[in-house]
Structure 1
Amino acid sequence: MTQDTAPITEDSHLYLIDASGYIFRAFHALPPLTRPSDGLPVGAVQGFCNMLWKLLEELKGDDRPTHFACIFDKGSYTFRNDLYPDYKAQRPPPPEDLVPQFPLIRQAAIAFGTPALEMEGYEADDLIATYARQAEEKGARVTIVSSDKDLMQLVSDKITLLDTMKNKRLSFEEVEAKFGVGPDKVIDVQSLAGDSVDNVPGAPGIGVKTAATLINEYGDVLSLLERAEEIKQPKRRQTLIDHADQIRVSRDLVTLKCDVPIEAPLETLKVRDPDPATLIEFLEGMEFRTITRRVRETFEAEGDLPDPVESEGVDHDQYETVTTEAQLAEWISRIRKTGYVAVDTETDALDAVSSNLVGISLSTNVNEACYIPVGHVSVSEGELNLSNDEKPEQLGLDKVITALKPVLEDAEILKIGQNFKYDLAVFSRYGITVAPYDDTMLLSFCLHAGMHGHGMDELSERFLSHTPIAFKEVCGTGKSQISFDRVELDKATRYAAEDADVTLRLWKLFKPLLAKQKVTRVYERIERALPAVISRMELEGVKVDRDALSRMSSDFSQRMAGYEAEAHELAGKDFNLGSPKQLGEILFGDMGLPGGKKTKTGAWSTDASALEELAAAGHDLPRTIINWRTLSKLKSTYADALQEAINKKTGRVHTSYSLSAAQTGRLSSTDPNLQNIPIRTEEGRKIRNAFIAEPGNVLVSADYSQIELRLLAHIADIDALKNAFRDGLDIHAMTASEMFGMPIEGMDPMVRRQAKAINFGIIYGISAYGLSNQLGIPQGEARDYIKAYFEKFPGIRKYMDDTKEFAKEHAFVQTIYGRKCWVQGIKAKNAAQRSFAERQAINAPIQGSAADIIKRAMINMPGALEEAGLKGRMLLQVHDELIFECPEAEADTLISTVRRVMEKATEPALQLSVPLVVDARAADNWADAH
C-alpha cells in the first residue's frame, strides 16, 4: 500500500470503522461458518468482508469517503487498567471460534486497501476519538461505522455514527433517546450508571434514566457531586456521597481519549482502491465464493481485473503433440522468450532409477502446453506391437535430449515442476542437470503444511477447481493396465500436457504467496534446493547383503515356529497366531483373561497395548504372541522385503523420500521404508548389519546428539539445560540431579533412565499415564515426576503454555526458520482430539526445527565433500542421522568434513544458544557404524 497522503479540508469525509466492535456483533449475529478445506472458523471474517465491500460499493456517490481506516483493539490491557485494575475484569474471554479470526480480519482490511490501525495501551475507541476530533477541528465530516454506545459521546454536527447492520445513522436524536441527554453529557450519565459489561462501577442503584434526570438538573457529574448534599432523596444522596471517588474513577474510565499519540497521521488515511489481485486472492483463500464472484464481476466490469490463470478453464484441445524438429524449435524459442517453463516427464514405470523416458511435457502459459513423445510403441487391438516400422510418429530420444538440454540447464530459465525430485532423477540419467527450478509441491508445503495434501490432483481440485485426467483413464487398472509407452499419442498428450499446464497455474498462484505468508526463507533456504540433493541420494541407493538377509529370514522362520508351538501348548489347542479373531477368543473367551475390550466389529481387541498389559501382568501366552509378532514383522517387512527391493540393474536398494508428508518438515522413507528399522532390539540391529559398503569402502553414520533436547533448551530459553549442553554434561544425569537433588557422580542408572524418559517425553507432551507405562511405575508417581520436572524447569512449562496459546490464536506454530506447521483440532470440543493437537503444537517447533537443520546440512553437504576432494556420497537420511559411503582411506577426512557441516548447519543465518554435537563413526556395515 502506497504512503501517498491527502490533506484534510472542509470537503473531506473521514470514515472510521470500529472493527473490534463490529467483529463481535458479526460473530454473534451471523450463523457459524467454517472454511470447507480445513474447518477454520471464518464467519466473522465473512461478515466483515461483506460489510466492508457493501460499504465501499454504496459510498461511490456524494458520500464517498476521502479518508478511510479500520481501527482495532491492540490488546486487552490499556491505560484504564492502571486507573482501575478491575476494568473489564468480568469480561469472558473471546469465544474459541472467534480468536483465530482476529488476525484474518486485519488481513481482510488490508486486502480491501484500508489501513488496519491499532495501538498498544489504548482501546480502538480512543484512536477513533482522536482521529474524529482531529478531522472535526479541520472542518471535515466524520462517519464512525459503529453502534457502540461508548462512541456516542463523540456525536456532533460533524460526527455521526453509522450502524451498518440496521442501515441507520445515529445523530443527536438517537443519542438523546438512548441516554436522555445530548452527546456532550453522555460521559456524565455513564459515570453514574456505570457499565456492568466493562465493569465500570458507577453509582450503585442509579440507572441511565435516573442519571439523566440528575445530570439535566445539575449540569454535569462533577457539579452533582459537589452539591450531593442538596439531593432530597436520602438513599440517592447517601449513595452519591459514599461513592463519590468511585464515580470520579468511572468518569475517567468512560471518557475517550482524544489525544492519543497516533502513529499514522490523519492525512495518510487517504482512500485507495483495493488491488484486484490482492483482494481476490485473499477472498479465494478464505473460500468465500459469493463475495469473490461479486468482487471479480465488479472489477471486470470496471476493466481493472486481468483474467486470472485459475479462472480460465483447461482446454485440452489447445494442447500440441510435438513430433517435428520445427515444432520443437518453436517451443524452445517460446521458452526462451518467457524465461520459465513448467516441465513434466512420463516414464514406463514408477521407478526413477531404472524406468525409461517415454515423453516430456512443457507449458509456458495457461492452456499453452505440449507433449513430446520419445519412447512410445504402437498398440494394435490392445496387443503390443514391437515393429519399429509401426511405432507412432515421434522424434528420436537423443535428438530431443540434445535440443532440450541447453534450455533445461540454462541458468536464466526457471524450470517449474510438481514433485520435481522424480523428474530431476529421470533427467539426470540422460545427462541433464536441471537448474534452476521451482517445485509447486514444496511451495504448497511451505504455505499449507498440515492443512491438506500436496499432490497435484488435490491441489488442482482445491485451488483451481479442476479435476485432472486420472492415470487410470489413460492406462486402465488391474491386469488390463498398460504402461504409458503404450498409450495412444492423442490420449497421452491430453494427460501429460495437462500436468504441465496445471503445474504452471499452481506456480503462478503459490509463488507470490510466499512473501505474503512470510515463508520465503523456509522455501528458498531449505526446501527449494532439496529435490536435487534427495534425487541424487535416491539414485545412489545402498548395498544390502542378500545372503545375510536370507539367513536372517530362515532364522526368524525357525524361531517363529518355536513360538508357535509354545503358544499352542499354552492355549491348549492349535490356532492361527496371525488371526486377531482367533487369538481374542482364546485369551478372553477360553482363558478368561481380564481387561478384554471389543472393537466396533464385535471382535476382541488384541493390539500391541492390550497384549503388553496382559504380559506385564504375568500372563505367558500374550508375551509369546508379542515375541512371535516381532519376528514376523522383521521377517516380512525387512528380511524378505529388502531382498525383493534390490534393484536388478544396480544391485542396491533405492528408497524413495517423501518431501511433504510430515507437517513438521521431516522426510519420510517409502518403498522400502528405511527409517523405521528397529534399533533398540538385538533382532532389529541384525537388519542393519545387512546394510554394507562396497568392497574397499566403508559406511559412515553421522548422528546429531540429542538435537531435539538442545533445541528445546534454545527455543524455551532454559538456562540450566543450555549451560549443561555448553559444558558437555550428561544431560539426563544433570536433569535427574536437578529433580531429585542427588549428585551426578555415582548416580543410580535407574534414576538416570527415569530422567531420560521424562526429558524425551516432555518433547512429545507425555502424560502421567504415558510415563507410568514407559517406566512401569504408578500414575501418581509419574505425575509427581512430571510436576517436579516443571518446578525445576518452569521455562519449559511456560514454553508449552505459550505455544498452545499461540496455536489456538493463529492455528499454526513455527520452527526457528519460520516454517509454519498448521495444527488441526487445536480448539476442538472433543478433549482427546484437542489434547492430541496440543501435543502436536508443542512438539512441532522442536521436531520441525531439527528437520530444518538437517536439511540445511544435506543441502550444504555435496559442495563440502567436493571442495574437500572426497569421493564419498550421501546415501540415506534417517531423521537425525546421515549415512555415507566412501573409500576406506578417506573415512577420517569425510567424518571431520561431515561433522563440521552438520554442526554449523544453522550458520551464518542463525546462531543457536546451544552447541550442536554430531557423533560419527565408520564401519563395514550400518549397525557397527551407528
Structure 2
Amino acid sequence: MSFGKGCHLHLVDGSAFIFRAYHALPPLTRKSDGLPIGAVAGFCNMLFKFVEDNAGADAPTHVAVIFDHSGKSFRNDIYSEYKANRPPAPEDLRPQFPLTRDATRAFNIACLEVEGFEADDIIATLARQADEAGGRVTILSSDKDLMQLVGGGVEMLDPMKNKRIGVEGVEEKFGVGPDRVVDVQALAGDSVDNVPGAPGIGIKTAALLINEYGDLDTLLERAEEIKQPKRRQTLIENADQIRVSRELVKLDDQMELDVSFEDFELNDPEPDTLLTFLAEMEFRTLTNRVAGKLGLDAPEIAQPEVSNAPAAVEMPAIDPEKYEWVKDMDALSAWIDRAYARGYVAFDTETTGLDEMIVDLVGISMAVEPGEACYIPLTHKSSQADDLFGGSDLAEGQLPLDQVIAALKPMLEDPAILKIGQNMKYDAKILARYGVNVAPIDDTMLMSYAQNAGLHNHGMDKLSEVYLSHTPISIKSLLGTGKSAITFDRVPLEDAVKYAAEDADITLRLWQILKPRLHSERVTRVYERLERPLVPVLSQMEMTGIKVDREVLSRMSNAFAQKMAGYEAELHGIAGRDFNVQSPAQVGEILFGEMELPGGKKTKTGQWSTPADVLEDLATEHPFAARVLDYRQLQKLKSTYTDALQDHIHPETGRVHTSYSQTGANTGRMASTDPNLQNIPVRTEEGRRIREAFIAPEGTKLISLDYSQIELRILAHMAEIDALKKAFRDGHDIHAMTASEMFDVPLDEMTPDIRRQAKAINFGVIYGISGFGLARNLRIPRSEAQGFIDRYFERFPGIRKYMDTTIEFAKEHKRVETLFGRRIHTPEIGAKGPQAGFAKRAAINAPIQGTAADIIRRAMIRMPDAIAKLPAKMLLQVHDELIFEVEENAVDEVIETVRHVMEGAAEPAIKLDVPLVVDAGVGMNWAEAH
C-alpha cells in the first residue's frame, strides 16, 4: 500500500529495547555452547509482546526497529569528546547486538541502521517523512532526546509504562514545547552523552531563559541584559560551546535513506523462520508460546550432554479456556489425589480485599502441572444479590466453604506435600483464620527476591512477563477502578475461573523455573535460611498484633490540633496577615515574595516552592520558616499516626496488625505497611509520644530489645578498622572515641557538642553522606563539614579502602553481597551524572545494611523455639529492634533469653571481630520500653 492518510508508522528504538532487556534479566547463556543470550531473550520477549499487543483501531500499519550503528557518528566530527565518557558495552552484551538484528528479521519486522548516524537521526528522518505524507507516527521509546520530534502527527509511547507522550508531556519534562527542546538541551548539556552545555545551568533555568527570550539565538545576542551576574557571565563566556551543544543535540531529519515505506509494511511472522530462530537460540519457553499462538508444534531443541545451568522446563502455552471449574466434591477429591500423586501443588486464595485479618475467602485455585489448573469458587454472590440491603444470595455452581476447608485441610497441612505460592504469607494467614496451618511451603516471590534483588520487582505479573513472556489477566479488568470497583465475590464465575486458575498455573511454572536457579545462582542458603523460614514467624507476629489505646490517640490528636492552631496564630502574627498555612504557594509568597528571603524557586505554574530542605536552610535564620516546619511536622503526625492509626485498630482484637514485606527493600530490610510502624518519628518529643499509645494488656509488659550501633560494628568488621574494633571490644563510647581520634580531644575533656558531631559523621559515612548533607545535619558551614569528612578518612583509612573496593566489585560484577551471601544487584553502578553518586552510595551501604538485616532475620527465625515455653509473644520488628509482650513475672527471663539469641544470631555462619550488644527496656507502653 502507498503510505499516506490512515497509515500508522511505529518506530521502535531498538537500542533502548536491548539495554532494557540486558539489565532486566539475570545473565543467561545458551546451554549448547555458552553463548550469552540474556539480552536477546528479553529483546525477543519484547518483540513478541509488541506483536501480540498490536490490535484494534490504534494498531500500526507499518513498523521498523531502528538501531545505532557501531562506531562514531558525524557528531564526533563536530565535538571530539562527544560520548567520550561512556563506558564500553559489557563484554557479554557485545556478541548479542547482531543477534538482536537477526531476531527482528525473524519476526518479519524491518530493521534499519546507518553508518555515521545514530538511531535517533533515522527516527527523526522517517518521522518527518511519514508526517509530511499525512500518516501518523508513534515512536516507541522514553528517550528524552526524541521529544523534539513530538507534534503534528508524531507522538511517543513509553512501552514499559504504556504511557503516551504528546506535546503536554514534553512541556512537563522540559518546561518548553517540542520546538524549543533543542534550545533547552543546548543550554543544560547532557552528562550522559558528554554534551557540554552552559556550566551551572540546568533544565529548569534553561527553560526559564528560553521562555523569557523566545529562542537560543536571541538569548545569546541579549545575554548582556541578564540581571544575575553569574548567569550572564556563563552565557557570554560559553556562547560558542552552547552553539556547538545545539548541533550535538539537534537530530538530523534530512538523511538520505535508501528505503521506502513499503519496506515497513506490517506482516505476520513467517512461522518456519521465526520458530527456527527461536529454537536455534534455545528459547524453549518462548518457542512453545509462539508455536502455540501459531497453532503449530514446537520444533525439538536438543539438550546438551553436560550443563551446569538448570534443566529447561517444557511447558504448554497458557490457555485460560482449559482451566477446570470445580463444582462437586468428587471433582475436588480428584484434584487432591493428583496433588498427593505429584507431591506438590501450587495454590492461591481469592478474597474480598487485601487486609488478611478481615477479608472473606471467596475461592481457592490449584495447579499440579503446567496448563492443568482449577478454581474452587466458594462464596461468589449471584447477580441478583442486593448489596444495598445486605443480600448475600450465592451464585450457583459452588461448594460449601466448610466442606471444602475440611477436605483440603489434611493435604494443606501434610508435611509430605509441598505447597507452592506467590507471596505465601498472605494465603497462609487467610487459611489460618479457617483453622488450617499451611506447611511446608515454597514461595516464588521470595525465590525471585533471593536471586534478583535490585533488578526488578517480584510481583507475579512482572515475573510472568520476565520468565514466561506472558501478561496475566489483569485484576482491574475484573474489578474495575474507583468508586465503581467491585469485590472479587461479585466477579462472574466464568471470568473468576480463568483469572484465579491462571494465577496458580503461572505460580507453578515460575516455581519450576526459579527453584533450580537458586542453586545455579548460588543463593540457596539465602532462600532456605533467611527467607523461607521467616514466613511463618512473620505470619504469627502479624496475626498477634499489638494493643493500641484508642483514647490515647484521640487525646493526642486533639492536643496536636490545639498546638497547630497556636502555631497558625503565631505565623499569622509574624506575617502580619491571615493566610492558609497548609498552602505551599501562600507560604512561599510570604517567604520569598513579601519577606524577600533567599533560596526561593518557582514551580512551572509560577508558584513558589517550599520543600522541607529549603525551609530547613532558612529555619536557622528566620522564625517563620522554623515555625512552618513545626506546623507541618505536627500535621503529618496527626494525619499519618494519631488519626490514621485509630482506623487500623481491629474491631475484634483491639490491636493493630501491620503487614511485613520481606521484599520491601533490596538490602534485605523489611517494610511495614497498613499501617507502617517502622517510620514513627523518634527524634522529636511529639513523635516519641505516639509510642505511648502502643500498650501492654493488664498483667503484661512490653519489652524492647535493640541492637546497639550494629551497622557501625559491621563496618568495623568488614572494613577491618582496628581502632573501631578495639573500641567496641573494650565497650568504649564509640562516638566519643571517634571524636577524640578526629579532633585530638582527650576523652575526659569531651563535650556533648563534639560528641554529637562525631556521631553524625559516624552514621553519615555509612550512608555516603556528602559535605553538603553533613553541613545541613549539623547546621555548620559546608567547608567545615567537608573538612570533618576528610579528617575522618585520614584517621580511618580502612573505610575509604572498603568503599573503593566495594565500588570496584560492584562495577565488575553488577552486584554486592552481604556477609551471609545475600546478593544485591547494582545495575545503575555505571551510570553518569547525579545517578552515579546515588548508585555508589547505595552499593557502599548495601552490604552493611543488608548484613544487619540478615542478622536480625536469623534472630527472628530462632525466636519461636527460644521462647516457646515462656509466657511471651514477639509483636514487632522495627529495623534493629524487636518488641515483645511478656507476662510481668517473666520479664527478666525473657530478656535474658532474647538477648542471648540476638547477640549470637550471626553464629555459627559468621564470627564477627566485634561483639553484638543488645540494649533492653521494659514498660507499660512502647515509649517506656524503648
Common topology (TM > 0.5): yes
Matched-pair contact (CA < 8 Å) for 1:872–1:886: yes
Equivalence map 1:599-678=2 (5 Å): 599-617=603-621, 619-678=622-681
Select 2:741's aligned residue among 734, 738, 742: 738
Distance in 1 (alpha carbons) for counterparts of 2:506 and 2:627: 54
Secondary structure (helix, strand or coil) at the match of 2:867 reads helix
Secondary structure (helix, strand or coil) at the match of 2:711 reads helix
Matched-pair contact (CA < 8 Å) for 1:338–1:364: yes
1:303 CA drift (Å): 8.2
Matched-pair contact (CA < 8 Å) for 1:392–1:489: no
The aligned residue for residue 806 of structure 2 is 803
The aligned residue for residue 892 of structure 1 is 892
Distance in 1 (alpha carbons) for counterparts of 2:302 and 2:764: 59
Equivalence map 1:732-771=2 (5 Å): 732-771=735-774
Does residue 700 of the first structure (1) align with residue 703 of the second (2)? yes
Secondary structure (helix, strand or coil) at the match of 2:656 reads coil
Higher-Rg structure is: 1
The aligned residue for residue 847 of structure 2 is 845
Select 1:857's aligned residue among 847, 856, 859: 859
Equivalence map 1:455-854=2 (5 Å): 455-617=459-621, 619-830=622-833, 832-854=834-856
CA separation of 1:808 and 1:49: change in aligned 2, threshold 3 A: farther
1:622 CA drift (Å): 0.8
Matched-pair contact (CA < 8 Å) for 1:311–1:464: no
Distance in 1 (alpha carbons) for counterparts of 2:346 and 2:725: 47
CA separation of 1:449 and 1:601: change in aligned 2, threshold 3 A: farther
Matched-pair contact (CA < 8 Å) for 2:829–2:839: yes
Does residue 922 of the first structure (1) align with residue 901 of the second (2)? no
The aligned residue for residue 35 of structure 1 is 19
The aligned residue for residue 226 of structure 2 is none
CA separation of 1:449 and 1:104: change in aligned 2, threshold 3 A: farther
The aligned residue for residue 75 of structure 2 is none
1:349 CA drift (Å): 2.3
- 1:525-554 C-alpha deviation (Å, 9 max, x unpaired): 001111211111111111111111111111
Distance in 1 (alpha carbons) for counterparts of 2:35 and 2:461: 35
1:406 CA drift (Å): 1.4
1:478 CA drift (Å): 2.4
Select 1:402's aligned residue among 401, 406, 416: 406
Matched-pair contact (CA < 8 Å) for 1:342–1:363: yes
Equivalence map 1:311-326=2 (5 Å): 312-326=316-330
Matched-pair contact (CA < 8 Å) for 2:346–2:504: yes
Equivalence map 1:183-262=2 (5 Å): none
The aligned residue for residue 352 of structure 2 is 348
Secondary structure (helix, strand or coil) at the match of 1:442 reads helix
1:347 CA drift (Å): 1.4
Distance in 2 (alpha carbons) for counterparts of 1:920 and 1:385: 53
How many residue pairs are counted as aligned between the two chains? 683
The aligned residue for residue 907 of structure 2 is 907
1:308 CA drift (Å): 5.9
What CA RMSD, in Å, does the superposition of the two structures yield over aligned residues? 3.4
1:559 CA drift (Å): 0.8
User: Counterpart of 2:844 in structure 1: which amino acid?
Assistant: I
Matched-pair contact (CA < 8 Å) for 2:285–2:313: no
Distance in 2 (alpha carbons) for counterparts of 1:95 and 1:281: 35
Equivalence map 1:285-434=2 (5 Å): 300=300, 312-380=316-384, 391-434=395-438
1:302 CA drift (Å): 5.4
Matched-pair contact (CA < 8 Å) for 1:702–1:919: yes
1:279 CA drift (Å): 8.0
CA separation of 1:390 and 1:416: change in aligned 2, threshold 3 A: closer
Distance in 2 (alpha carbons) for counterparts of 1:456 and 1:580: 39
1:871 CA drift (Å): 2.2
CA separation of 1:278 and 1:911: change in aligned 2, threshold 3 A: farther
User: Counterpart of 2:823 in structure 1: which amino acid?
Assistant: K
Secondary structure (helix, strand or coil) at the match of 2:919 reads strand
Secondary structure (helix, strand or coil) at the match of 1:647 reads coil
In the alignment, structure 1 segments of 5+ residues that lack a partner are 1-29, 54-93, 107-275
Matched-pair contact (CA < 8 Å) for 1:543–1:651: yes
CA separation of 1:366 and 1:307: change in aligned 2, threshold 3 A: farther
User: Counterpart of 1:300 in structure 2: which amino acid?
Assistant: E
The aligned residue for residue 878 of structure 1 is 878
1:477 CA drift (Å): 2.4
Matched-pair contact (CA < 8 Å) for 1:34–1:42: no
Distance in 2 (alpha carbons) for counterparts of 1:819 and 1:283: 28
User: Counterpart of 2:449 in structure 1: which amino acid?
Assistant: F
Distance in 2 (alpha carbons) for counterparts of 1:693 and 1:32: 56
Distance in 2 (alpha carbons) for counterparts of 1:457 and 1:644: 31
Matched-pair contact (CA < 8 Å) for 1:698–1:885: yes
1:483 CA drift (Å): 1.8
Give the % identical residues.
Answer: 57
User: Counterpart of 2:788 in structure 1: which amino acid?
Assistant: Y
TM-score if structure 1 supplies the norm length? 0.69
1:410 CA drift (Å): 1.4
User: Counterpart of 1:913 in structure 2: which amino acid?
Assistant: D
1:730 CA drift (Å): 0.8
CA separation of 1:742 and 1:865: change in aligned 2, threshold 3 A: same
The aligned residue for residue 184 of structure 1 is none
Matched-pair contact (CA < 8 Å) for 1:732–1:756: yes
CA separation of 1:31 and 1:502: change in aligned 2, threshold 3 A: closer
1:923 CA drift (Å): 0.7
Secondary structure (helix, strand or coil) at the match of 2:910 reads coil
Matched-pair contact (CA < 8 Å) for 2:703–2:884: yes
1:298 CA drift (Å): 10
CA separation of 1:865 and 1:96: change in aligned 2, threshold 3 A: farther
Distance in 2 (alpha carbons) for counterparts of 1:919 and 1:277: 60
CA separation of 1:717 and 1:592: change in aligned 2, threshold 3 A: same
- 1:456-495 C-alpha deviation (Å, 9 max, x unpaired): 1122122212111122222222232222222222221111
The aligned residue for residue 212 of structure 1 is none
Secondary structure (helix, strand or coil) at the match of 2:652 reads coil
Distance in 2 (alpha carbons) for counterparts of 1:585 and 1:390: 59
Distance in 2 (alpha carbons) for counterparts of 1:369 and 1:779: 63
Matched-pair contact (CA < 8 Å) for 1:854–1:880: yes
Distance in 1 (alpha carbons) for counterparts of 2:382 and 2:575: 61
1:392 CA drift (Å): 2.1
CA separation of 1:799 and 1:105: change in aligned 2, threshold 3 A: farther
TM-score if structure 2 supplies the norm length? 0.69
User: Counterpart of 2:846 in structure 1: which amino acid?
Assistant: A
User: Counterpart of 1:317 in structure 2: which amino acid?
Assistant: E
CA separation of 1:733 and 1:654: change in aligned 2, threshold 3 A: same
Matched-pair contact (CA < 8 Å) for 1:638–1:687: yes
Distance in 2 (alpha carbons) for counterparts of 1:299 and 1:809: 38
Matched-pair contact (CA < 8 Å) for 1:377–1:385: no
Distance in 2 (alpha carbons) for counterparts of 1:447 and 1:412: 26
